[in-house]
Amino acid sequence: MCESEKQCCEGQSCVERVDRTEKKLKKLVWALMIWVFILSLGLGASIAHHFILGQRPDKTDKTPPKNTDATSGTHSQLTSYNPIQNKQDNHYSNPQWQKTNGYKQDTAISIEDDGNYFLFLRFTLQNRKQGVNYTVTVKKMPLNQDIIVGHINGTELSTGFMGRGVHLSKNTLLNVTCSPQTQIDVHNTYLGLIKF
């Protein structure tokens, strides 16, 4: 501490030096408070703008769009299929599929509407032969074009979850095959389509 009569290094008394430092700090504090105030106003305006635009109804079209397609409506765009166990033959190279909550069974899945779809599949074996690798293929017929190709190698019993986005036309057939022939675990094998 300095005594009031002593001079600081620069020829000033310590009291004058402390007063000047306090004045500089007050200016900096005020500048900081003004900056925080401006940022708070900007944030408040941004939030208000977001809520005002988000809650404003669209004035150009007050009626909801009408469904022109008879199949579109309140039901889900997800369609899933399960393989059917064939009591005559335990080996499946081309399993029969049944739509969940449906009655029709077929070896190929027929697409009902044109559109973009996400196709997903999990193919699980009942058991496997030692040293044999299996290939599971989903083909788009009649073009015979591979959509998804999965492999079951090593000690695995399943392809895991496979999926791909694809454009499908009405009446296109999807054919799922496994090579070489094997038994399918019908409780853990499924195929699904999500229409966008």
**pLDDT tens-digit map of 77-86:** 888 888 887 6
Which has more pLDDT, 74 or 186? 186
What is the pTM (predicted TM-score) of this model? 0.57
- Domain assignment present for residue 157? The answer is yes
Total residues belonging to the chain = 196
Average pLDDT over residues 106-116: 86
Same domain, 21 and 108: no
**Tokens matching residue 148:** 């998804």
Q: What are phi and psi of 109, to 5 degrees?
A: -100, 125
d(CA 185, CA 21): 81
Same domain, 89 and 142: yes
d(CA 190, CA 196): 20
Which CATH number belongs to the domain containing residue 105 in this structure?
Answer: 2.60.120.40
pLDDT score of 33 more than 90:
yes
List residues bridging with 96 in a β-sheet.
84
- Is residue 178 within 8 A of residue 136, CB to CB? The reply is yes
Q: How many domains does the chain have?
A: 2
d(CA 40, CA 57): 28
- Domain assignment present for residue 72? The answer is no
pLDDT band at 68 (very low <50, low <70, confident <90, very high): very low
The range of the structural domain enclosing residue 115 comes to: 78-195
